[in-house]
Chain A
């Protein structure tokens, strides 16, 4: 008999049997890497963020600490606490680490120069030596219009200049900063190939489905063990696996631009806890009014957020597509 659908609630995506779920992910990861991919261990790029930390913890449990290598891949724009957190994480699980600074590779690609050149065309008094910059979406997700990025420059005295990014400059900034994720992917595969390991991809469900990853960058991996888990579920898994509390408490950032930037500002336009639930509602065809009542939003707002999810999934389909033969 078909199970009756549960009424929508704030607890609907909470994992009840967390121990069982974690054991299932670990068992599957082991089979995927050793049997399906025929590799003998795992390479995980670690940033001190929650997703890569959970992937390292899962890998350590699946393959044993000695068969996992955590790689830190900082560059000159990375935040200083990333390395310290990544080291603490690796120590927690007894995993060996390596640091590969990719700044010189990025310089070679002209990553910083190409990015700054585009910023200067939009904000001519941008001083790349002292100013901080980031791109962000300023629109309200509940308004029914596609998301467009703005560039924000922060001067040393705290003055902020922000302008809507024209198409050409937006594309150049994204294309140049994507060198970061693609360089990291190349380095991870170097180590994976020299050790006959698999690369563990760290994107979560939102990153995969909303296209918040770089094609052939952080989207380039052999297996993605948390690719179908909501962000709040990733936190639940992190707590269960004993990921250090500082990592759990840290605000998720992009660690891509010079100015501090949360993932919510950059891309998602709403807190993870709300996004997870509304995405679940959308994906499982819960009526907007039922979701709105629980989330404290109007039916119209939820309808517009549903439309925004639909647009994001559609416009990022290209990122998830394999080459067409």
Chain B
């Protein structure tokens, strides 16, 4: 299983590559939707990325700011899902 740091690095790399803005870096606790890094399609593609890369499936109920508003929140959401799986 990937370490939290590896997980964070992968997710951050994906978000920076997928972002519609020209930012080179993003703080781990920055609000990625509020800052315009990702829009609704960006969120949809992020969910696809999480499924393909970590086999994490997201339900309607899990789609909330607590799980998705920043890189830290996404990492913690994915870590929890993976630990439950294991």
Chain A residues at the B interface, C-beta cutoff of 8 Å: 138-139, 143-148, 150, 162-168, 170, 307, 311, 314-315
Contact = CB atoms under 8 A, between A and B. Distances in A.
B41 A145 contact: no
A147 B60 contact: no
Given A307-B34, A311-B40, A164 B47 contact: yes
Contacts of A307: 34
A165 B44 CA distance: 8
B66 to A, nearest CB: 9
A147 B68 CA distance: 12
B60 A162 contact: yes
Interface in B23-74: 31, 33-34, 36, 38-45, 47-48, 51, 58-60, 63-65, 68-69
B69 A145 contact: yes
B59 A144 contact: no
A290 to B, nearest CB: 22
Contact of A164 (B33, B41, B63, B64): B63
B47 A311 contact: no
A148 B69 contact: no
A164 B69 contact: no
A315 B68 contact: no
With a 10 A CB-CB cut-off, give which of A147, A150, A166, A307 has the most chain B CB atoms: A166
Contact of A167 (B33, B48, B60): B48
A144 B34 contact: yes
B43 A166 contact: no
B69 A144 contact: yes
20 contacts: A139-B60, A144-B31, A144-B33, A144-B69, A145-B63, A146-B33, A146-B39, A148-B47, A163-B60, A164-B59, A164-B63, A166-B48, A167-B45, A168-B48, A307-B34, A311-B39, A311-B40, A314-B36, A314-B39, A315-B41
A165 B34 CA distance: 23
B64 A145 contact: yes
B39 A167 contact: no
Contact of A311 (B33, B64, B65): B33
Contact of A166 (B34, B41, B51, B64): B51
A148 B63 contact: yes
Contacts of A150: 60
Contacts of A314: 36, 39
B68 A167 contact: no
A160 to B, nearest CB: 12
Contacts of A170: 44
A146 B45 contact: no
With a 10 A CB-CB cut-off, give which of B42, B44, B69 has the most chain A CB atoms: B44
Given A164-B60, A170-B44, A145 B68 contact: yes
A138 B60 contact: yes
Contact of B41 (A138, A139, A162, A167): A167
Nearest to B51: A166
A167 B44 contact: yes
A164 B58 contact: yes
With a 10 A CB-CB cut-off, give which of A146, A150, A162, A168 has the most chain B CB atoms: A146
A282 to B, nearest CB: 16
A251 B38 CA distance: 33
A144 B65 contact: yes
